[in-house]
A and B are shown apart, each in its own frame.
Chain A
Amino acid sequence: GAVVSQHPSRVICKSGTSVKIECRSLDFQATTMFWYRQFPKQSLMLMATSNEGSKATYEQGVEKDKFLINHASLTLSTLTVTSAHPEDSSFYICSARVVLSGATLSYEQYFGPGTRLTVT
């Protein structure tokens, strides 16, 4: 199957600093990527849908100025947590969909390995 990488896998930062997380599709082009957040022992919550070359679509309750998403190329989307605070500590996972012919999104969604963010 397709491979999605995330970098870094773990990051510890001080409160008030910004952290950038990269999500890359390694062997396919991903016009659409998704960013999720998962608190311990909880489910994945969709934060935003990232579309190449356009603004991300944020879910209700997600601060777009705090969680900056950039999808500059067909293989890279970045999530920047600005002015991070301890409550932002979480597991962030990205995923990408394979685009079939006719620009239809496949049902297959490939996940990155996740990034564990700890804000001290």
Chain B
Amino acid sequence: AQKITQTQPGMFVQEKEAVTLDCTYDTSDPSYGLFWYKQPSSGEMIFLIYQGSYDQQNATEGRYSLNFQKARKSANLVISASQLGDSAMYFCAMSPWASGGYQKVTFGTGTKLQVIP
């Protein structure tokens, strides 16, 4: 079974500053994927970034980067140069890799990020 822990229920960040959202995970699967999603108040889930468990380098997508520390089982999301539009709920998630590809996704409890002008 997989477990995702997000210990920060809410975070504030000043506009244009960087912010790190914490995520730790627990799994017995040897191969897995880690994901971050953004959910604005409208409810849609927006995919931000993906990290494979065997990837040597940390994933980056524009202003998003994933600080992957496999030994510590952590996959923190770093948002650089925060914008007002970044205010939303952020979910960390993981999916084991098995025959047929990535399987069902387990989500963390989420972190509500508020960007202050």
List residues of chain A with CB under 8 Å of any chain B CB.
1, 34, 42-46, 49, 91, 93, 95, 97, 100, 103-114, 116
Contacts and interface: CB of A to CB of B under 8 A. Distances in A.
Nearest to B89: A41
A100 B97 CA distance: 14
Nearest to B37: A111
B82 to A, nearest CB: 22
Nearest to B108: A43
Contact of A107 (B42, B52, B106): B52
Nearest to B103: A105
Given A43-B91, A43-B110, A106 B102 contact: yes
Secondary structure at the A interface, as helix, strand, loop or mixed, is strand
A74 B42 CA distance: 27
B36 interface: no
A43 B100 contact: no
Contacts of B102: 97, 105-107
A100 B43 contact: no
Contacts of A105: 100-103
Nearest to A113: B44
10 closest A-B pairs (Cβ-Cβ)?
A105-B101, A111-B45, A104-B101, A114-B43, A43-B107, A44-B107, A113-B44, A107-B33, A107-B102, A43-B109
